[in-house]
Structure 1
Amino acid sequence: MTLSYDIHGDGPTVVLLHSSVCDRRMWDRQVPVLTEAGYRVVRCDFRGFGETPVADRPYSDAGDVRDLLDHLKCERYALIGSSHGGEVALEVAATRPEAAVSLVLLCAAMPGHVAGPELREFTERKKEFLAADDIAGAVELNLATWMGPDAQEDAHHLVRVMQQHALETQRAARFTSTAAPVDIGRITAPCLAVSGAHDLADFREIARTLPRRIAGARHLELPWAGHFPSLERPDEVNGLLTDFLSTTFPAR
């Protein structure tokens, strides 16, 4: 078992998977609400994020998460993923459909997705900043791209801190996560795919198409949200999460 993690509360297990801009601290506003609702909340840092060091060998984020869940002896669980964390959640749910019994995707990426023009442009601009060793510029590009209009200054500050730490840590990385091809049609869990009206087109399209790919999935677009709704309006998203879990994976 490799990943740094923490556990809060008792009850059915809910696993929180962070974006590739953030680390597990992005869920600080969700953890107390979910524990109060009766769940055992597990959150982790992927390799090169938060308290988990970079990899010294080839790996996959989904494989690391599966190893962590095995280590914790989690047999049934809900997965909540943001952006890249949503992609990881899809991989885990597709490879362990009997264990992943509820799935919430917040502006998720998707295995095998081919980037559109907006996402390609962002990626190229970020590469330019990093090639120039301008981490501060890359951080501000991330904030300008991903944070919706309702995000408060405390959310901006937290994302800035998390992304700067990740970029500085990953300077030493020799390996990046590799995703194996998966058939997300194997997912049997009820799935809520959330998109933000102010997000890039890639992520809005992924969320819209998931109900055609996963039986029983439904799509909800938040008109106020950018890429990180759980940081932008945490109270509203907490209500969405607890309502969905109460019907798909009840705590009591």
Structure 2
Amino acid sequence: MDAEQRSITARDGTPIAVTRHHGGDRAVVFLHAGVADRRAWDTVATELSDDGFDLVAYDRRGYGDTPAATDPSSFTHVDDLLVVLDDLGLERALLVGNSMGGALALDAALLHPERVSGVLLIGAGVSGMTDEDTPFDWELDPATEPLLDRAEDADSPVDDRLAALAHLWLDGPVAPEGRVGGAARDLFLAMNRRILEVAAPDSAGDAGVGAWTRLGDVAVPVLTTWGDLDIPADLPFYEETARRLGQGPVRVLPGVAHLPGLEQPAVVADLVRDALRAR
């Protein structure tokens, strides 16, 4: 199944870069993490190439080949997602969201459930997430804290920040640096070099949903998953997300960190298949 590269125009004229593997009627839209872009899903799409799915991945504003918004408050990521669905003629789709992409998937499921056939969460954030209403606090462990400080230090050399980001998000902070190598690491570094260059604010495109206190209202099927090598402080929040959704068992993925699609694409492809069966 050949990949089609195209540009879709957002409501304000911004071009959104899209990759589509059009091989069937069941639509799957991949929503990338905040430390990735649409290319992070390429190997997952390859794993699914013979399954008869319509696979779509696109770059949110400020990532990959989609420019950042001049005014961060002039758009919402949910509206951009709807523009992509409409342009491609997709009435409903399974949304596969990793990290910040998961937060977008949940926002869309709450605002536009008629356009969402289901959601697959992978190490997902949630809009409005806080520890103020939980019995646990977000506390960094000794392995994560120095890596996060290095990654966020705007005065450090870019290569040092990239190395810290790769250890933090790709390897997992409690795993050895360089655990994930080869093409996956090269792609991670290339994607994040671009992200650091653009430096779009994390708050850009917020739809104001505050899904954290509304997860019980999500009416579409949701499969919640995460890697056991992800940031330790985030693991209780993934568990709490699943509890608030109240939709059954979760999948903890052994031996992977925050970006399973990069290091174990076959595992993520199987999750997509399972999520489609649960629709």
Same structural fold, with TM-score higher than 0.5 when normalized by the shorter chain: yes
When the two structures are superposed, what TM-score results if normalisation uses the length of structure 2? 0.79
Change (3 A) 1:39 1:153: same
Instruction: Say if 2:65 is the partner of 1:51.
Output: yes
**Alignment partner for residue 188 of structure 1, among 219, 239, 242?**
219
The amino acid across from 1:237 in the alignment is: V
The SS at the match of 1:137 is helix
2:19 and 2:38 in contact (8 A); partners too: no
**Alignment partner for residue 169 of structure 1, among 198, 210, 219?**
198
Alignment of 1:95-106 (within 5 A): 95-106=111-122
1:7 and 1:43 in contact (8 A); partners too: yes
**Which residue number corresponds to residue 178 of structure 1?**
206
1:13 and 1:39 in contact (8 A); partners too: yes
Q: Percent identity?
A: 28
Change (3 A) 1:163 1:210: same
**Alignment partner for residue 216 of structure 1, among 219, 244, 247?**
247
Q: C-alpha distance in 2, partners of 1:117/1:191? A: 27
Change (3 A) 1:48 1:214: same
Change (3 A) 1:217 1:44: farther
2:223 and 2:250 in contact (8 A); partners too: yes
- Give the Å deviation of 1:83: 0.9
Alignment of 1:1-252 (within 5 A): 1=10, 2=14, 3-9=16-22, 10-57=24-71, 58=73, 59-114=75-130, 116-118=138-140, 121=145, 124-128=149-153, 130=154, 132=155, 134-148=157-171, 151-170=180-199, 176-180=204-208, 181-182=210-211, 183-245=214-276, 247-249=277-279
1:193 and 1:217 in contact (8 A); partners too: no
Higher mean alpha-carbon deviation, 98-107 vs 199-208, is at 199-208
When the two structures are superposed, what TM-score results if normalisation uses the length of structure 1? 0.87
The SS at the match of 1:30 is helix
1:55 and 1:175 in contact (8 A); partners too: no
Change (3 A) 1:203 1:46: same
Q: C-alpha distance in 1, partners of 2:243/2:202? A: 37
Q: C-alpha distance in 1, partners of 2:205/2:148? A: 17
- Give the Å deviation of 1:112: 1.2
CA RMSD of aligned residues (A): 2.4
Change (3 A) 1:174 1:203: closer
Q: Deviations over 1:10-50 (max 9, x none)?
A: 31210000011110000011113334211111110011111
Question: Greater share of helix residues, 1 or 2?
Answer: 1
Gaps in structure 1 of 5+ consecutive residues? none
- Give the Å deviation of 1:97: 1.6
The SS at the match of 1:103 is strand
2:19 and 2:58 in contact (8 A); partners too: yes
Change (3 A) 1:74 1:215: farther
